[in-house]
Amino acid sequence: MKLLIEHQCPQCGAPAILEETERLFTCSFCRVKSYLTRSDYFRYLLPHHAPENADLIYVPYWRYKGTLFSATQAGVRHRCIDVSHQALELATLPISVGLRTQALKMKFVTPAASGGFIEPRLAHGQVVKTFQEQFHKSLPRPVFHQAYVGDALSLIYAPFYEKGRFYDAVLNQPLPTSAGHETPLGRLPSVKSHWPLHFLPALCPSCGWDLAGERDTLALACRNCDSMWQATADGFKEINFATLKSASRDGLRYFPFWRIAARVSGVALSSYADLARLANLPVAMQPDWQHRAFRFWSPAFSLRPKTFLRAATQATLAPPRDNFTRSLPHGEVAPVTLPVAEALDSLKIILAGFAKPARRLLPRLSDILIDPQRYLLVYLPFETGRLEFIQPDLNLVINRTHLQTTS
């Protein structure tokens, strides 16, 4: 189910509903395009049904959505997670918001939101650790490395109020009498909402043209001056990109990949020859491989976990030759939905997936350090089949049903 979020056009104030992953937004009244950015994470409110005069108290819950990859003796395992966890340590309040994030229409917290917001006491790192330990139990031992890949860490505020006793304001139902009293909910330090949403006008910083992209894209294109941009706290920042040339022009769909140059220590991995040895590639070593720099490749779009790893591994093991052009692809282009930071988190898992023999390398994983240096966004052309997309150079086939919408 899609998570819907109420919001207002920053230009004219007209109401709008965004889906959780939507960033680029065209107002249906004033037609102005804006792009939603964040400095840390998004904060959402669950809707309340409290009486009008109730003083609302908002309890914070961390929500995490993504995939946990674990490198184990038996191979790389994955698990999709969408969990929430109370960010206070109040035993009498629900430990998570359960399915409410899916069943209810949430709002962004804006400075207009009334009520007291209790600050999280548990750092999100601690909560993530708890999740990790839970999932750890079901894995075959030993676990050599774990990585979260996914982009949605957010804070959800659940409304409560006090009227003789504490009420769950979502349902407007009293909590058990002990709840909230044992721990004085009303006396916990709280703050007023002071979290503005940041919108950037979707205009090219270089030439002023309208930026274009899908509604959920993390990278916006200027078709006028052939440039790509990503939003940061200080505005749009240019992204280096390239497009792999293709002999055929028709029926192509371009998918974005992050090509990442990293310094690897703890194992020899600086040239393509090193890679061939480490992955035990079943091909004859070519003399020029010694001089061909090694790069990691990761999809820059969301895929089902297994397909994500396979695509990353295949692109890393058999990267396309640098037959690139510095202009935007013509034809259908898939949006960037996986940020480079997430791709960086997955590098060790990618390495764990291709290193052979695994039983010799995996125990050394914790000594291996991967220090990313530079990245390039590369658009690779795929032929479009009825059921799948095919990249012939990489011998990579992506089933249409394995493309994952991020919501």
Q: Which is nearer to Zn ion, 32 or 153 (CB)?
A: 32
Q: Which is nearer to Zn ion, 205 or 372 (CB)?
A: 205
Q: How far is the CB of 216 from Zn ion (least distance, A)?
A: 20
Q: Which is nearer to Zn ion, 4 or 212 (CB)?
A: 212
Q: How far is the CB of 232 from Zn ion (least distance, A)?
A: 17
Handedness of CA 82, 88, 94, 95 (dihedral sign): positive
Q: How far is the CB of 209 from Zn ion (least distance, A)?
A: 5
Judged by the rule CB under 5 A, the positions of this chain that interact with Zn ion are 9, 11-12, 14, 27, 29-30, 204, 206-207, 209, 222, 224-225
Q: How far is the CB of 94 from Zn ion (least distance, A)?
A: 37
Q: Which is nearer to Zn ion, 30 or 171 (CB)?
A: 30
How many Å apart are CA 176 and CA 178, to the nearest integer? 6
Handedness of CA 339, 342, 348, 349 (dihedral sign): negative
Around Cβ 288, how many Cβ atoms within 10 Å? 10
Beta-strand runs (E) in 282-329: 296-299, 324-325
Q: How far is the CB of 210 from Zn ion (least distance, A)?
A: 9
Handedness of CA 62, 339, 301, 214 (dihedral sign): positive
How many Å apart are CA 76 and CA 200, to the nearest integer? 39
Q: How far is the CB of 330 from Zn ion (least distance, A)?
A: 17
Q: Residue 6 carries which side chain, given as an amino acid letter?
A: E
Q: Which is nearer to Zn ion, 8 or 407 (CB)?
A: 8
Q: Which is nearer to Zn ion, 12 or 341 (CB)?
A: 12
How many Å apart are CA 44 and CA 57, to the nearest integer? 14
Cα angle value 296/301/306 (rounded, 5°):
75
Go through 18-50 and write b for each residue having 16 or more CB atoms within 10 A of its CB, e for each that does not: bebbbbbbebeeeebbbbbbeeeebbbbbebeb
Q: How far is the CB of 336 from Zn ion (least distance, A)?
A: 17
DSSP characters over 45-102:
E------TT---EEEEEEEEEEEEEEEETTEEEEEEEEEEEESS--TTS-SS-TTHHH
Q: Which is nearer to Zn ion, 148 or 229 (CB)?
A: 229
